[in-house]
A and B are shown apart, each in its own frame.
Chain A
Amino acid sequence: MIEVRAEINGKPAVLRGNADERLRDVLYRSGYSSVRDSDDREGFAGSDTIVFNDRLVYSNLILLYQAENAVIRTPESLLSGREINDVQQAMIDAGVVQSAYNAPEAALILTYLLERNPEPSKEDIKNALSGIFIRDAGYEHYYLAVKLVEEKRKYGCYRSEIAPSFRPSLQFVGKPSGKIDGKPLVSGEKLFVEDRVMPGTFVLHVLRSPFAHAYVRSVDTTEALKVDGVVDIITAFNCPDVYYMQAGQGNPEPSPYDRRLINRKVRHAGDRVAAIIARDEETAEKAAALINVVYDPIKPVLTVEEAMADGAPLVHNGKVEYVSGAPDNLDEYNRSADPDEEKVIYQFPLHGDIRKNIAAAAHGGIGDIEKGFEDADAVVDETYQTSQVQCTPLEPHVCYGHIEGGRLVLNCSTQVPYHVRRIVSQICQIPEHKVHVIKERVGGGYGSKQDILIEDLVGYAVWKTGKPIYYRNTRAEEFYANSTRHPMRIRVKMGGKKDGTITAIYMDVRANTGPYGNHCLTVPMNASSKTLPIFRVDNMYYDLFTYYTNTPPAGAYQGYGAPKGYFAIVSAMGELAGKLGVDPLEMARKNIVERGYMLEILRGLGEGREGTVVPVGSCGLREALDKGAEMIGWGRKEVSDDPDWKIGKGFAMIQQGSGLPGLDHSNAQVKLLTDGTFLVLSGGADLGTGLDTISAKCVAEVMKVPFESVSVVSGDTDACMFDTGAYASSGTYFSGNASLRAAEDLLRKTIHEASLQMEIPEEKLHVEYPGFVVSEDGRKLSYAALSHEATSGAGRGQLIGTGSFTTPNFAVPYGAHFAEVAVNIRTGEIKVRKFYALQDAGTPINPELALCQMYGAVMKSIGHTLYENMVLDKEGHCLTNTFTDYGVPMIQDAPDDLKSVLIDVNDEYGPFGAKSISEIACNGAAPAIAMAIADATGVWVRSWPITGEKILKALGKF
């Protein structure tokens, strides 16, 4: 242990630790908790950025002793007391403070930049932010934030428009107003799970399988348990015999229960073999090295093609059970079951056949598909392949658990706190009231935190041992032992007439769910269910098969199955248009749905049950296509001065959903407090996207009070009512509607109470800003006075509004994305020059946050289109376990001209006319870029990532 003297944030400080400890760890431990770690010392993501002797550096790459006499600045230096600086405020106002795990570092970087260069150019800003990875909001509004600071300093106010405003009659909804939790997030407050960990907490270390596929014949923990400081070791042979699945989906889940906490057969490299609970990581690792595991390896199955092959090794071959709808021949089917394997329990039939590695299957369509092809003047029949990509939230999966008052308390970074409670209680075999889940601020989710990937193990370990336990995935574990996008092989056969009418579409979707069946039906279903309904085509049919393999697990990722489906179906449409000699944009215009069109195709697109046929509701699709075409100059050929660079344009029309009507359920309460202010208790799980802000705006709008009069508590299973969670683009539509209904309920109750207190009939009362009940004759009663009276000894009690939202109605967002791409046909280099994302989100309740979510989603999808790729070796080991090897897009990779545009459409079912925003924004880049590359080079690349090598090969260059 050494003591290092340094100046930190302008004051002398002493840092204590081991000489070879990382400065980041010491700073965090010493109270500079905004300095975080996203990359396990890779020197990439920038969450550990500090100013060190007047230079921006990664504190994870500095050893403690090197800080002797150093002058250090952390993001805490930006605060004056609790006040944030103008850069931080501008970041909130610009909408870039979302999940915000490294927002304080971005603020520090921009503050540092502006101190040295008060009027930085775009290149200066790009250079300053070149070492920080932003996954949620993209990079575009960081330029705006700097501009806002410059304007405020120069003119005393902002002059630039931050975002357009919608609905002039409303005061808060549709206006850029900042995020309710923006200040605490950007200032680096202790808001994340890691900030809750108390001294004396134990660690959990997972011993993982070196084999992608093997029986675990025995696990000898005798020597490991003797290590001083080891509390317990959980293995397949002493864990509860409880079957479950990790996907946080509605109950009963459309995914099979095909796993226990730890299984007797490992099914991917990195699968759980043992969980060591120990005093510290060093002790746990020492114990892990002493565990003797006897494996019986089996040949791994790594692709859909291998899984489909005759005689393929079976990833699951245990007994199959059904909770409902068991087939008549089940006993016969189970005769060949392997007794050494875990069971597979379907909650209802998903048409899987595990003896053929099929986890789920579905089929459906409308019209006469063969006749449709016969009627066509041309038919394309191509297969498109998408790769395995990772959500890469800056905060990895993390969980802290302890026992309090005889109950299990879990501090989680989750999208689904109530599913965590249900699943953990099942595994621990305790009732739900014994489990308290607290959703902390989530440092990025993007779908991967819809799954209960670590809370199951931590929860059980805490309940079993009684010890407080903290667990955090390493960045490498995030890649190989986490959930990823399902890789898919999608064959699209599409026929059309010379006039551009599409006569038939057939999709054959073959998805890879990896070792377990999380979302095995629903993600692949999305490849068809979110694409076919955008077409006004009479003959459409799909076949879907999802296969088990021994690749790293798959699950939910923003966009779900739709980005893959759109890549295939829009690329096929582009290829068909080329074959017919038709402009693909005209073909799209001719074949897209419009408001009122009856979506018969939905009947066959229910997820495991018959779907409901509904008409197209509010729809801004045509406007998005028209406006986008105008912006990008569709039809005008761009020519580079350099003959090696060829320029092309492409587009994609897109849709998604807003939650799952008929399945999702949200609840909220709004309390009128004794001083006339409000507390919202929302079951919704804000992931940083602004859901809490939506709840606050609903209350402020309905009760006509300042936005600042409302606070929100959300995602706490003790404090708040049930919500299915933040997934499937449900937040605004479901949780927002629940908050709106709660506010409306409170308004009714407030008028009623005021009527009694004021002795005026209810119909003669209304509410007025800023928080009064007002009578027709002008008498006023403030909410504070009303509430005080109601909660006095003689009153009728506190006023609480309750809202519950379920619906059979769909609120479908539509959009169109356009890309202009340059390709160097000599070197294969690809530049996305322009990208325009135009989307109909109904009424964007938080327009600045909506725009940034579109930017973030576009960057993610540019990433999976061009760069990102998990590569496995022949044994199934992931070779791309760092950001650098995997390839995420950074600020330099953003298009030079990137614009998000909100198409103004008012929906009839969403809160204040709102629909979802961010998932749909992941759907356009792949098909738009693929089409633009084809336009530029004449070759279609039909697999992710679209690389220079693939283009050059297709061009016959080598």
Chain B
Amino acid sequence: MTVHRPSSLSEAYAVKKAHPECSYLLGGTSVLAIGGGETDLIDLNRVVPSSISEKDGAVIIGGGVKLEDVSSSDAVPAFIREAAASCPSLQQRNMATIGGNAASCRADGYMTAALLAADAILSVYDGDGERTVSYRDYVSSHESDWIIMSISIRTGIEGVMKRVSRASHMHAVVTASSCGGCYAYTASPSTIVWGGKDAYRNAEYSDDLLGSADYKRYLHSVIFGGEK
């Protein structure tokens, strides 16, 4: 395994362009874990911020901030903290980053639904410089070359985070989050939708190890108090 250790964003991006098979490395809980792909890596830890700050009515969470720090920050809206805390292992939370979690866009990701519902804004580096993009657009386009610098969430927003899994450390069967009238739904293996409360109705579900498509659709239909 080759690990590239760029000292600047432009260098990191250039490596990725030159070696598209490389994966970005932040916390390592995905790419260094079994099943992580055993690919060559680009270590972003020197170039991605890892602090939490507040500016213009928003909390700015550096891409390198650990989930444990997200979950314990008073500046972060409660349901976002709850999403970070849904990573059930303290060691994992001490290593996994919000940037890495957001970038993965996984349907069973800890942060995916909450960031979608919160309409989080990403600051990304796309080769030409730093720019902002909504997380919803990022998930839609999933530009895996982009480097997530930070995630901006409006302060003071209130929301709800739900996660259903069979055992505490198993992957989520479904997650769902709502905030300000936006509802986000995810289901393993690859269902991610957002919109109104009935957004799940247009989603495609699949059977997998965690449950049937019908089960997941049903869970989404009742998770916010729909019909029984």
Contacts and interface: CB of A to CB of B under 8 A. Distances in A.
B90 A884 contact: no
A827 B162 CA distance: 11
A892 B165 CA distance: 12
Name, among A825, A863, A867, A880, the residue most crowded by chain B CB atoms within 10 Å (CB to CB).
A867
B8 interface: no
Contacts of B33: 41-43, 61
A42 B29 CA distance: 8
B91 A949 contact: no
Nearest to B36: A41
A890 interface: yes
B209 interface: yes
Interface string B193-204: 000000000000
Name, among A44, A62, A949, the residue most crowded by chain B CB atoms within 10 Å (CB to CB).
A949
Contacts of B18: none
Given A19-B3, A43-B29, A65-B3, A131 B167 contact: no
Name, among B2, B32, B34, B43, the residue most crowded by chain A CB atoms within 10 Å (CB to CB).
B34
Interface stretch (A50-58, A226-234, A662-670, A759-767): A50-58
A20 B222 CA distance: 46
A886 to B, nearest CB: 9
A889 B95 contact: no
B91 A62 contact: no
Contact of B169 (A58, A475, A883, A952): A883
Given A61-B28, A130-B89, A131-B91, A885 B169 contact: no
Given A41-B34, A887-B166, A887-B167, A58 B3 contact: no
A888 B167 contact: yes
Contacts of A867: 166-167, 170
Interface stretch (B55-63, B177-185, B213-221): B213-221
Interface in A448-482: 475
Given A867-B170, A949-B215, A957-B228, A880 B209 contact: yes
A957 to B, nearest CB: 6
A283 B55 CA distance: 55
B129 interface: no
B164 interface: yes
A892 B168 contact: yes
A948 interface: yes
B215 A56 contact: no
B91 A952 contact: no
A945 interface: yes
A746 B223 CA distance: 69
A879 B90 contact: no
B20 to A, nearest CB: 20
A127 interface: yes
Contacts of B2: 20
Contacts of A884: 169-171
A155 interface: no
A58 B95 contact: yes
A952 B218 contact: yes
A826 B222 contact: yes
Contacts of A39: 34
Contacts of B170: 867, 884-885, 887
B89 A829 contact: no
Given A61-B29, A128-B90, A826-B228, A20 B164 contact: no
B209 A130 contact: no
Contact of B167 (A65, A828, A889): A889
B171 A885 contact: yes
Contacts of B171: 884-885
Contact of B209 (A65, A871, A888): A871
Size category of the binding interface on chain B:
35 or more
Interface residues of A, number: 54
B47 to A, nearest CB: 15
Nearest to A22: B32
B90 A945 contact: no
B53 interface: no
Contacts of A62: 28, 32
Contact of B94 (A20, A57, A826): A57
Nearest to A889: B167
Contacts of B34: 39-42, 475, 882
B92 interface: yes
Contact of A949 (B32, B45, B211, B223): B211
B169 A958 contact: no
A890 B90 contact: no
Nearest to A105: B91
A656 B225 CA distance: 46
B32 A61 contact: yes
Nearest to B35: A882
A282 to B, nearest CB: 13
B188 to A, nearest CB: 11
B212 interface: yes
A880 B43 CA distance: 30
A136 to B, nearest CB: 18
30 contacts: A19-B3, A40-B34, A42-B34, A43-B29, A43-B91, A43-B95, A46-B89, A55-B94, A58-B92, A58-B95, A127-B90, A131-B90, A131-B91, A825-B228, A826-B228, A880-B209, A884-B171, A885-B171, A887-B167, A887-B169, A887-B170, A889-B167, A890-B88, A890-B168, A892-B168, A893-B167, A949-B212, A952-B215, A958-B214, A958-B218
Given A867-B167, A882-B34, A884-B169, 19 more contacts: A46-B91, A56-B91, A58-B92, A61-B29, A61-B95, A63-B28, A127-B90, A128-B90, A475-B34, A825-B228, A827-B222, A828-B219, A885-B209, A887-B170, A890-B88, A892-B88, A892-B168, A953-B215, A958-B214
Interface of A: 19-20, 39-44, 46, 49, 55-58, 60-63, 65-66, 127-128, 130-131, 475, 825-829, 863, 866-867, 871, 879-880, 882-885, 887-890, 892-893, 945, 947-949, 952-953, 957-958
